[in-house]
A and B are shown apart, each in its own frame.
Chain A
Amino acid sequence: MNRFQRRLAFDATMQVIATGLALIALAMMAWILVTLVVKGANALSLRIFWLPMGPPDGSGGLANAIVGSFIQVMIATAIAAPVGVLAGTYLSEMGQSSRFGASVRFINDVLLSAPSILIGLFVYDIAVRPFGGYSAIAGSLALSIVILPVVVRSTEDMLRLVPGSLREAAFALGAPQWKVVTSVLWRAGRAGIVTGMLLALARAAGETAPLIFTSLGNGSWSFTLTEPMGSLPAAIYQYASSSSQAWVDLSWAGALVITVGVLVLNIVSRVVLAGAGRK
């Protein structure tokens, strides 16, 4: 084999290895999904969406945890989305080149990847300890800090995609800046901004670490925001490490539910975003 053939052979080998690595990654994804479906199917029934968590014999469901997750994620979104959209708008419309804008952008990026368990500790310190107990509102607050940086980032990115000529046209009509932003820019970037919120919401729905020191989890129905409230990830965490096989089965069913939910939200937002991008 001469030098040229060796190089070609090496190139072919590396291409095969790269293809193999991609296949392995896809296989891992498939493996996780298959595991979830197979193990989750054991305890998956309509009952888990209907009955609250019960005794270790597995006669209960997960309904209170699912509803609790839904409530906390919704409150968290209601807190974080307005602040996030305003801050993202600041970065795109006012702070493009200022030093303050650069610091906010930088810190937001750090917050985006910050360990979520530290957010749990922080909220414990400001919203659990001073008020003497775990509460759903503390859990929502922790999730809102998970959501905030995602919304800030996606809002900024989306507004930057709005052509400058749209801004000019609006200003030329004599509109003040608040009018330009609210009726032109936010409207133009609406699909993208909403997608960012959906992705943030999906991420928050799967977070466990920020909840275990804040809303703790609750084995029965609770709609009081100042009391501990169940959440699907916290229920999965509690059941998955228990010694009752029925509870472990239930935790797999919960894991299947949450993963399907999060993946559907992700796929839907990608489709929405792709549709908005083509316009």
Chain B
Amino acid sequence: MTADTLIDRPGTGTGRLKDGKGGTADIIFRFALTMAATLVLLVIAAIMLLLLRGGLPALMKFGPEFFITTDWDPNNEIFSAGVMLYGTIATAIIAILVAVPASLGISFFLTEVAPQVIRRPVGIAIQLLAAVPSIIFGMWGFYVVAPIMRDLVQPALISGLHWLPVVGYLFAGPAKGTGILTTGLILALMILPFMTALFVEVLESVPGVIKEASYGIGSTTFEVFTTVSVPYGRTAIIGAAMLGLGRALGETMAVTFVIGNANRISASLMASGASISSVIANQFNESAPGSLLQSSLLLLGFTLFVISFIVLALARYLVRNRLKG
């Protein structure tokens, strides 16, 4: 576009012609656009407020202890979030610990190693993995992955690691197949394609000249990746990883199938657990409207909303700043 444009390009300027041409129709049109945009804000505000309103009775009854104690006893109407907070966070952390290095490796492959012709097809194939509905991951995890974990992976981990000090506690107990570890691994696979795509986008935005400069002083391909490309996109890469974390925290169906649904915290990663989303999925339909159980579930939902909102907001802030900047 030439420099003497009358109208700013989208995203750079102040807006369209402002002399009111078009009259009433334009006023109505602009009003409709603004209303639609406002609706997006209203939806998220309404979700937050209604979850909080629904959770208030439980919050009044149990107080801040709701978030630190671990009782969940529907028969005696005693509820708290400890077990589910632990399950949600532990599975998400396992997912991130596995998925971030794996995604970085795959994005290294897709941006530097792979021959040009196969980059797009491989990239698209990995992208399609992200389109598979989460309930499919749940079924596959429960019927296919969990038996393998139970018969092969977990016995090997337990016999190989249980004698270690401290770490040993993480790998103790019977191998059940389902549980925190399996859930974390399935979540890792689910967020991997999404994170890989973002990493590739960030890494492709690294200016060729600075990579060439590094090659010019004798760096190897991997050295250019670790000392130039990754540091250059560091902020956006952290942001992308946090976006993945946000998704892992709120994932429901896959988790519900494989976490094992137990209302307690065990030191072992092999043990069953529960996450905020899995407890809501399992118990909400059985809770009577207005009951303390339902209120506690809504308070759990509000807690999940706040956690994911903070993570996602921070992530978007980091990603946007970098990719646009």
Contacts and interface: CB of A to CB of B under 8 A. Distances in A.
A113 B247 contact: yes
Given A160-B11, A164-B8, A255-B136, A21 B40 contact: no
B21 to A, nearest CB: 6
A209 B113 CA distance: 39
A217 B223 CA distance: 54
A251 to B, nearest CB: 7
Main secondary structure of the interface of A (DSSP, over half): helix
Interface string B288-325: 01000000011001001100110011001000100000
Given A26-B125, A167-B7, A96 B281 contact: no
Given A25-B106, A181-B29, A266-B128, A111 B250 contact: no
A110 B48 CA distance: 13
Nearest to A159: B10
Contacts of B40: 87, 104, 107-108, 111, 148-149, 152
B41 interface: yes
A84 to B, nearest CB: 8
Contacts of B249: 115
B9 interface: yes
Contact of A36 (B43, B129, B136, B223): B136
A118 B305 contact: yes
Looking at A15, A117, A145, A240, the one whose CB has the most chain B CB atoms below 10 A away is A117
Nearest to B50: A125
Contact of B109 (A22, A115, A164, A209): A22
Interface in B248-284: 249-253, 257, 277, 280-281, 284
Interface in A125-149: 125-126, 129, 145, 148-149
B26 A178 contact: yes
B33 interface: yes
Interface in B130-173: 131-140, 142-144
A115 B122 contact: no
B44 interface: yes
A70 interface: no
A223 interface: no
A122 interface: yes
Main secondary structure of the interface of B (DSSP, over half): helix
B133 A206 contact: yes
A19 B111 CA distance: 11
Looking at B40, B46, B138, B284, the one whose CB has the most chain A CB atoms below 10 A away is B40
Interface residues of A, number: 104
B217 interface: no
Contacts, number: 296
Nearest to A256: B136
Given A15-B221, A113-B312, A206-B133, A177 B30 contact: yes
Given A103-B41, A251-B139, A117 B5 contact: no
Interface in B100-120: 102, 105-106, 108-110, 112-114
A237 B13 contact: no
Contacts of A104: 37-38, 40-41
A7 B8 contact: no
B8 to A, nearest CB: 7
Contacts of A31: 144
28 contacts: A8-B220, A17-B105, A18-B106, A19-B114, A21-B106, A90-B36, A90-B37, A96-B12, A97-B11, A97-B13, A110-B309, A114-B44, A121-B54, A124-B284, A125-B298, A162-B10, A164-B10, A167-B16, A171-B7, A176-B21, A176-B23, A178-B28, A181-B29, A236-B135, A240-B142, A252-B139, A255-B136, A258-B136
Interface of B: 1, 5-17, 21-23, 25-26, 28-30, 32-41, 43-44, 46-47, 50-51, 54, 102, 105-106, 108-110, 112-114, 122, 124-126, 128-129, 131-140, 142-144, 189, 192-193, 196, 220-223, 243, 246-247, 249-253, 257, 277, 280-281, 284-285, 289, 297-298, 301, 304-305, 308-309, 312-313, 316, 320
Shortest 8 CB-CB contacts between residues of A and residues of B = A176-B22, A115-B250, A206-B133, A86-B36, A11-B220, A178-B29, A90-B33, A21-B105
Given A15-B112, A106-B313, A176-B22, 12 more contacts: A22-B126, A28-B129, A86-B37, A107-B41, A121-B297, A122-B46, A122-B51, A164-B8, A168-B6, A236-B135, A240-B135, A263-B128
